[in-house]
Amino acid sequence: MTHPLTLTSLPLFPLNTVLFPGGQLPLRVFELRYLDMVRKCHQAGSPFGVVALTGGDEVRRPDSPSETFHTIGTLAQITQLDSHQPDLLQVQCQGHARIHVDRKQMLHLGLWVADVTLIPVDQHVAVPDDLRPTSLALAQVLRNLHQRQQAQEDRMHGPAIELPQPLQLSDCGWVANRWCELLPIPLTLKQQLLELDSPLLRLELVSDVLERAGIVF
C-alpha cells in the first residue's frame, strides 16, 4: 500500500485567485512577509502553496482580520523572478500538483506555513466526442491570445501564452483547467472545480458553463 506524499512547513500564499495545475500565475510581491519567502524559494528551487482566500485580504493591514482560506490549493514553482527594486519582486509561477492543507500555523510577520498532503495528479482521460467542441474552442481562443501577445511590443507583459499541443487538447484535465483560468466565473465555482478529482466531470461542468454562455454548442 502506498502512502500519500507529504510536505512539512510549506509556505502558503493566500490569494483572491485559484491556481490550477499547469497554469501560469504572475505575482507582484512587496509585503515583507512574502519578500524573504519568495527569495528563499527561488534560491532553493522550492515550491510554495497557493490557496484561495475565504476571508481577509491579500494585503495585510493593521485593521485587517486574519486570513482564512480553503484547504485545497496548488503548488506553485517560481519560473522567473525580477528584482529591479529591493522592495518589489516581479514573479512568474507555474502550478503543479494540488495539495490538501492538513495543519497550518502563522509565523512571525504573518507568514502562513502548513503541513500538506500532495493530491495525486489527474490521470490522462481522453476528451470524449461530445466534448470535442469544448476542446476545439479552447484551441482557437489560445491561438488568438498567442497571436495578440506576439503582436505586442512588450513581450514581457504577463506570462507567455504557448500554442496548445494535440496531446494537451485531447486531455480532459488540461482542457478543463485552461478554461477554468480563462472564464470569468466566481471564485467559489473555480475552487469547486479545482477540488474535483474527476477530470472528466470537471470538463463536463465547464462545457455546461460554456454552453449557457453561448460559447460552445
* Overall average pLDDT of the 164-173 stretch: 96
pLDDT for the residue 158: 64
Asked whether residue 1 is domain-assigned, the answer is no
Looking at the fold, whether 93 and 137 belong to one and the same domain comes out as no
Residue with cell 480532459: 172
194 pLDDT band, cuts 50/70/90, is very high
Confidence of residue 1 (pLDDT cuts 50, 70, 90): very low
Nearest to 138 by CA among 212, 200, 206: 206
Q: Give 1 or 12, the one with higher predicted confidence.
A: 12
Q: Residue with C-alpha cell 467542441?
A: 133
Please report which confidence band the pLDDT of residue 42 belongs to, taking 50, 70 and 90 as the band edges: very high
Enclosing domain of residue 40: 6-118
What CATH number corresponds to the domain at position 173? 1.10.4060.10
- Least trusted range by pLDDT, from 10-24, 75-89, 157-171, 188-202: 157-171
pLDDT, tens digit (0-9, with 9 covering 90-100), for 100-144: 999 999 998 899 999 999 999 999 999 999 999 999 999 999 999
- Is there a single domain that holds both residue 97 and residue 157? no
pTM, two decimal places: 0.91
Does some domain include residue 123?
A: no
Report the chain's mean pLDDT, rounded to a whole number: 91
Spatial separation of the C-alpha atoms in residues 78 and 92, rounded to whole Å = 6
Residues 189 and 92 placed together within one structural domain of the fold: no
8 A C-beta contact, residue 96 and residue 75: yes
Looking at the DSSP assignment, which residues form a beta bridge with residue 28? 90
Residue (of 138, 148, 141, 149) closest to 174 by Cα position: 138
Phi-psi region of 56 (alpha: psi -120 to 50; beta: other; left: phi over 0): left
Q: Which pLDDT does position 151 carry in this prediction? A: 80
The residues, any chain, with a CB within 8 Å of residue 177's CB and separated by 6 or more, are: 20, 21, 22, 23, 202
Same-domain status, 36 and 106: yes
Q: Is the pLDDT of residue 35 over 50?
A: yes
Q: Is residue 217 part of a domain?
A: no
Listed residues 118, 147, 163: the one ending a domain: 118
135 and 194, same domain (yes or no):
yes
Are residues 142 and 44 both part of a single domain? no
| Total domain count, the chain | 2
pLDDT band (50, 70, 90) for residue 6: confident
